[in-house]
Amino acid sequence: MRRKIVAGNWKMNKSVIDAQQLMVQLLSYKNNHTPNCEVWIAPPALYLMMAKDIFEKDEIGIFAQDMSEHESGAYTGEISADMLESIDATGSLIGHSERRQYHGETDSHCNRKIKLALDKGLIPVYCNGETLEQRKAGEHFEVVKNQTEVALFTLSAEEIRKVVIAYEPVWAIGTGETASPEQAQEIHAHIRSTIAAKYGQEVADEISILYGGSVKPDNAREIFSQPDIDGGLIGGAALKLEDFSRIIEAFQS
């Protein structure tokens, strides 16, 4: 059975007071509801320890937004898989399109990060997706297949089962433009069949593939109802409990 997940990526938003307030609201929400999916958040790294304190019973999975491809050492500004393991974080986003766009991350970097995360028992949420130019040129299937192969195909079957993938078309992130449920479903199915071609259908069927890109309370239900979509990675709409909780509730069992 693959995991069903709604994850919030807070990006570089919120003061410590605002972050604490939203975490406390989320805790109370989680204590009073039984969602049909796991709920994860990726707050700024500075607030990860606070998140671990607030969600002391692991009510919500706690993720970094990125982690280093190096184990330790002179890498100013970075956080390591070891550090995340030492605070008992759940995992890390890896290869988010904003990391690719502003920090030159490639799928080879992602591959090294994913391996390190898995070695430390962290869940890597590997993000991929095509740009607008690539979609307009009809290259989206090829691009996403290639990303998936470079980032993941050095893993063993045992390792890849633990990876969560987030398909996030770059043209839909933070733009208000969402892939239609059909557009998202066909790429999710394509990612799954790419994995099945190498690791077999049984392994591919176990991997959760989330959709990300302008998911909102009013479009979440239709997106989540697609057979190969196992939840969402939510940016802007994860910053307010009202929107995020409505997206969580859009997840039908």
The smaller minimum CB distance to ligand PEP, of residues 134 and 199, is found at 134
15 in a known ligand binding site: no
Q: How far is CA 19 from the centre of its chain?
A: 19
Q: Give the C-alpha distances (Å, rounded to integers) separating 136 from 67, 166, 213, 222.
A: 32, 21, 17, 24
Residue 168 contacts ligand PEP per CB under 6 A: yes
Q: Quick count: other Cβ atoms within 10 Å of Cβ 125?
A: 31
Active-site choice (69, 98, 130, 168) = 168
Q: Least distance to ligand PEP from the beta carbon of 223, Å?
A: 11
Handedness of CA 1, 119, 166, 65 (dihedral sign): positive
What torsion do the CA atoms of 109, 114, 115, 117 make, to the nearest 10 degrees? 120
Nearest residue relative to ligand PEP (C-beta): 235
Near ligand PEP in 179-238, by CB under 6 A: 212-215, 233-237
168 belongs to the catalytic site:
yes
The smaller minimum CB distance to ligand PEP, of residues 81 and 213, is found at 213
174 in a known ligand binding site: yes
235 in a known ligand binding site: yes
Q: Least distance to ligand PEP from the beta carbon of 122, Å?
A: 18
b/e sequence 84-116, b meaning 16+ C-beta within 10 Å:
beeeebbbbbbbbbbbbeeeebebebbbebbbb
190 belongs to the catalytic site:
no
Which residues lie across from 212 on neighbouring strands? Answer: 233
Q: How far is CA 116 from the centre of its chain?
A: 17
- How far apart are the C-alpha atoms of 106 and 91, rounded to whole Å? 19
User: Please, which residues have CB within 8 angstroms of residue 223's CB and are 6 or more apart in sequence?
Assistant: 178, 181, 184, 211, 215, 229, 232
240 in a known ligand binding site: no
The smaller minimum CB distance to ligand PEP, of residues 124 and 199, is found at 124
Q: Least distance to ligand PEP from the beta carbon of 10, Å?
A: 9
10 in a known ligand binding site: yes
The smaller minimum CB distance to ligand PEP, of residues 66 and 168, is found at 168
Active-site choice (96, 140, 188, 190) = 96
Footprint of ligand PEP on this chain (CB under 6 A)?
A: 9, 168, 173-174, 212-215, 233-237
- State the catalytic residues: 96, 168
Residues in binding site: 9-11, 174, 214, 235-236
Residues in binding site for substrate: 9-11, 174, 214, 235-236
